[in-house]
Amino acid sequence: MLKEITIGQYIPGDSFIHKLDPRTKILISMLFIVSLFIMNKYVGYIFVTAFLCASILFSQVHLRFLYRGLKPVFVLILITAALNIFMIQGKPENLIYTFKFINIYKEGIDTAVFMTLRLIFLILGTSLLTLTTSPIELTDGIENLLNPFKKIGVPAHELAMMMTIALRFIPTLMDETDKIMKAQQARGADFESGNVIQKAKSLIPLLVPLFISSFRRADELAMAMEARCYRGGEGRTRMKQLKYGARDVVAYIIIIALLVISFYVRFGIR
């Protein structure tokens, strides 16, 4: 299951999405998330689905990578949907099913569907960002977008570096956790049997070696950066300069159109 997590992985490619400026992809991802939570009608999600399908098509990322990113959170999505269905109270005339203390309303089902779609689209959209953007490009893009905030004391380069390293090392930590689990299983550890609480307790012995491994990797990374005289963003030059192109303009027009549609569906349609 741990190997199924695709957040932080990068797949090299030459697609339309790969060639977009990293700043464009970051901003589009943010605006896409905004549009997801603005939408509150089923008709609006037709446009969101069309946008996401087109993005996947133009990214040339195989669907199995996106499916692998969804698998680990299926349980979370189901729990979220169930809580919305059984916990949200609606109007008496919208009561669909009742059994003892269980009441299911139309509002609860609608909210559950919207939250499920939002979570799925959110994961797919953010996965596309990391799958089509290299860590270096992601760092440069985040730093460039945060540069205006330097005037108020925001450490743009440090924040960008921290976020990118954190994303980059998620797959590495997952691989490390998988290796530790297999090593302990070979020594007789059992991570599968028992109830949920017992399974959670069986994972506690993983934490100590995982923390030690994480600190060791962090120390090795710091030493490698120090050995290369890394001093941060001040005066640093880049091999590839960030430049907007025609494809970025097209991408911005499309996401702005989606955002306008989102506001219209939310506030314009009665």
What is the predicted pLDDT for the residue at 237?
A: 67
Distance in angstroms (rounded) separating the CA atoms of residues 159 and 10: 20
Determine, yes or no, domain membership for 195.
no
What is the predicted pLDDT for the residue at 229?
A: 77
Q: Is the pLDDT of residue 64 over 90?
A: no
Determine, yes or no, domain membership for 224.
no
- pTM for this predicted structure: 0.75
Q: Is the pLDDT of residue 2 over 70?
A: no
Determine, yes or no, domain membership for 67.
yes
**Number of folded domains that form the chain:** 1
Question: Hey, which residues does 103 pair with through a beta bridge?
Answer: 98
User: For the segment 142-170, what is each residue's pLDDT rounded down to a tens digit?
Assistant: 888 888 887 887 777 778 777 777 777 77
Determine, yes or no, domain membership for 187.
no
| Average pLDDT, integer, range 8-35 | 88
The sign of the CA dihedral 71, 75, 79, 81 is positive
- Residue 218's nearest CA partner among 157, 180, 162, 160 is 162
User: For the segment 195-251, what is each residue's pLDDT rounded down to a tens digit?
Assistant: 667 666 777 777 788 888 888 888 888 888 888 777 666 666 666 778 888 999 999
Query: Are 114 and 216 in contact, with CB atoms under 8 Å apart?
Result: no
Q: Check residues 131 and 1 and name the one with the higher pLDDT.
A: 131
Distance in angstroms (rounded) separating the CA atoms of residues 66 and 133: 15
Here the tokens at position 235 are 């005066």
Determine, yes or no, domain membership for 245.
yes
Determine, yes or no, domain membership for 61.
yes
SS3 41: coil
Determine, yes or no, domain membership for 232.
no
Q: Which domain holds residue 89?
A: 2-168+240-268
Determine, yes or no, domain membership for 209.
no
